Amino acid sequence: MIDENLARLRAHRNNIHRYRRLLATRLSELERAYILKRLQDEEAALQALMQTTFPLSLPSVRQSSRAA
């Protein structure tokens, strides 16, 4: 199970890198809009998969504003 999720994480990461490289090239507005949408979809899917694969959450630490 973890191996499948790691493979999916790699695939999403690779797609994100590919879309970012494509955005650095000359594109029509339609192509750019499509790639931006796909990039957002991939980033959202990556975040969702990371949350389910690594559900660790650390408590936030607040810094005291009092001077010592």
pLDDT per residue, tens digit, the chain (68 aa), is 789 999 999 999 999 999 999 999 999 999 999 999 999 999 999 999 999 888 776 566 666 555 54
Cα(56)–Cα(47) distance, integer angstroms: 13
pTM of whole model > 0.85? no
DSSP alpha helix (H) spans, the chain: 2-23, 29-53
Residues 6+ away with beta carbon under 8 Å from 45: 12
CB 9 within 8 A of CB 50: yes
Directed axis angle between helix 29-53 and helix 2-23, to 10°?
160
Rounded Cα–Cα distance for residues 11 and 20 (Å): 14
